[in-house]
Chain A
Amino acid sequence: MGNTISGLPQIDWGNVQLDVRQPSSDRSEFFQTLEGAMDKVQEVQSGADQQVASLLQGNGQDLHSAMVAVEKADLSFQLMMQVRNKIVQAYQTISQMQF
């Protein structure tokens, strides 16, 4: 009892220095990219919105252009959603770490 396990070297904790970093004030590049992508999704969605509105108002809008625009908006949104899910999943994994 009280003896160190033979074979394991004694760790000298005195020399270990924790590398504590201050969070940088500017947003990280990743989140900037994510915000840019979300803006693009927003753009595509409002474009689809305009096309559908124009179609319903009978402004001579192509039916297929509106459909393709809606599909693009849907796919962009799905992509954004999947990226968001991935980020949340990573966050949850980290927050559930047991120490």
Chain B
Amino acid sequence: MNLFGVLDINSSALTAERQRAEVTASNMANAETTRTPSGGPYKKQLVVFGTERPGRGKFALTLSRFGDLHARGVKVEQVVQDKAPAVRRYEPGHPDADADGYVSFPDINPVEEMVNLMGAAQAYQLNVSAVQATKAMISETIQILT
């Protein structure tokens, strides 16, 4: 793998962290949602990360075709729904209340989601720093020639 392969791995991490931030934002936005297309309250979404072979796509400059077998990118393998049951709150006036006057709300703790979002943002920043470091490495390597 050449140094551009490192950029591919960094890029995959940026994509994964962006998706994590998206899912977290979705959870925060829907913390009080009681209606979904599939019926019932919104279910908290969780991202599951998995490793990925780095890109052999059109942007992998194939000057060196021998990939390093140990280098792996990351990808969002799946987005799963939290198994925790909905939280029932007594609100008889709510249109989605059941016969006993209880409304099912998603079991989402905004503080927890905020911490997740901060984690995603920090990880994103970390990987942007890694991109810059890789860029500097490539630039300096090119400077050997001058």
Contact = CB atoms under 8 A, between A and B. Distances in A.
A-B complex is real: yes
Interface of A: 37, 40, 43-44, 47, 62, 64-65, 68-69, 71-72, 75-76, 78-79, 82-83, 85-86
B18 interface: yes
A14 B70 CA distance: 64
Nearest to B15: A62
Contacts of B61: 40, 44, 72, 76
Nearest to A67: B131
Nearest to B143: A82
Nearest to A43: B58
B139 A75 contact: yes
Interface of B: 4, 7, 10-11, 14-15, 18, 58-59, 61-63, 128, 131, 135, 138-139, 142, 145-146
8 contacts: A40-B62, A47-B58, A47-B59, A64-B18, A68-B10, A69-B59, A71-B7, A79-B142
Nearest to B135: A71
A64 B11 contact: yes
Contacts of B63: 37, 40
Contact of A82 (B4, B10, B142): B142
